[in-house]
Amino acid sequence: MLQISKLYTRIHRKINRILERHIPYNQTYKPTGHYNNISDYVAATGAACVEVYPPEESTLDIPEELLVGSKNYNSIPRTGVQHAAVVTAVNRGRLYTDATHFAAVISEDNKVIGDLSLHVGTTQPEENGIFRKSYFTTPLGLKGNAFHTLIGGSGENNYFHWMFDSLPRMHLLEKAGLLHKMDWFVVPKHNLPYQKDTLRLLGIPNTKIVEGHDVHHVQADTMYASTFVRNIEHIPMWACQYLRDKFLPIAQKIIQPPKRIYISRQDSDARNVTNEVQVIALLEKYGFKKVVLSDFTFAEQVSMFQSAEAIVGPHGAGLTNLVFCQKGTQVIELFAKEYLLTLYTDLATKVGLDYNYLISHTYPKATNLRQAMNKGIQVPLDKLEELVQGVLTRTPEVMEQSEQKLKVV
């Protein structure tokens, strides 16, 4: 049933995109131009704008092999400048998303605002997908102030993007002193357990939530919007600290939590470990316990990772929970050669973990991106055992103090 539902969703979206490009409707909502950036918009309109964090240089502390390998999927600079983190008020602002590729913030004079709008794969506002649309639904009108955390796609059902691309923008709003002024929060979705749990724990009531990926087009008396969290694909330190500060205190204690965990993706249809039975048998010799994260509540997952001293798992959204680990936790990430990403390498180094990885060179090779994203991982057992033995000899005694909390500086 799940596969059928996903297929239906993809077909429905594809048909909608085709129709929206070729059937003119409500053309007055189509933007007539763009502002290159927030500065241009503020200069032209006098809009209120709060800089929460200034620009800063950011450098990825990750192995060259992973950085080079990740270019097959997404070219990420080792060094770049994190743009200023800003919250801006847009009078009579509109928000439009196709729920897959773009989210556009549109000014009262009908222009897309750069820095506040996103199209996956480009940073140029004039390339935003909204300019290729012909069919526009009438916007849902929201009285009062609204704030949005949309990212175009992925935040709808991807745990990492929800945790690191959507939620930290609540921190920007809060630090700007505006959180209490919001009447509405436009979020990607609100149907998955972790989405409901995290928003509830942040004190966002259901009565103020609008699901942007269902509504698509929204207009508020004042639309508040922030810059994007990972504007050069680097995870900012402040986002890690925000998630830790907000959620570590509510970690739901698990009776005898496993200190060494293996994250299974048996509940997923992508990037499964194809020889998982053998992998688990090997890891059990070293005290690891298999866990399927979807079997646990969000609070239980926070607690589990907070208590862990060693973690092994294939590349996947479950590793987002590394943000809740204590300093020095040992991590081994498992990759297929064709799909190397640096997300969790970056995250692990930002919160002070001992990060390691193992690449599987298995056949047949993936010949395109979709195959690479979904390819199973045949873990070389001898190399895994050698790596595990080396990692466990470095496990610091401080990990026994499961209540200690890392303060990221």
Residues 93 and 201 in one domain: yes
| Top-ranked range on mean pLDDT: pick from 22-36, 164-178, 364-378 | 164-178
Mark whether 230 and 358 lie in a shared domain. no
pLDDT tens per residue across span 37-75 = 999 999 999 999 999 999 999 999 999 999 988 877 777
* CATH code: domain of residue 359: 3.40.50
pLDDT tier for residue 398 given thresholds of 50, 70 and 90: very low
* pTM for the whole structure: 0.90
Which is more confidently placed, 74 or 30? 30
Tell me: do 265 and 295 sit in the same domain: yes
Q: Is 318 exposed, middle or buried (0-12, 13-18, 19+ CB in 10 A)?
A: buried
**Which of 166, 163, 168, 178 has its CA nearest to residue 50?**
178
More confident call, 363 vs 204:
204
Do you find a cis peptide bond into 139, omega within 30 degrees of 0?
Answer: no
By the 8 A CB rule, do 234 and 82 touch? yes
Residue 48 inside a domain? The answer is: yes
Looking at residues 97-104, what average pLDDT do you find?
90
Looking at the structure, do residues 257 and 201 belong to the same domain, yes or no?
no
Q: Which two tokens stand for residue 184?
A: 């509405």
- The answer to whether position 328 is within a domain reads yes
Q: Is residue 406 part of a domain?
A: no
72 belongs to a structural domain: no
240: in domain: no
pLDDT class for 292, splitting at 50, 70, 90?
very high
Looking at the structure, do residues 297 and 344 belong to the same domain, yes or no?
yes
**Alpha helical stretches, state H, 58-189:** 64-69, 159-161, 168-175
Question: Which of 173, 207, 234 finishes a domain?
Answer: 234
Residues 288 and 257: their CA atoms lie apart, in Å, by: 11
Note whether 6 and 148 are same-domain residues.
yes
- Identify whether residues 279 and 225 lie together within a single domain: no
Residue 281 sits in which domain range? 250-400
Return the half-sphere exposure (C-beta side, CA atoms, 13 A cut-off) of residue 158.
Answer: 15
What pairs with residue 332 in β-bridges?
312, 356
Q: How many domains does the chain have?
A: 2
Clarify whether residues 197 and 303 are in a common domain.
no
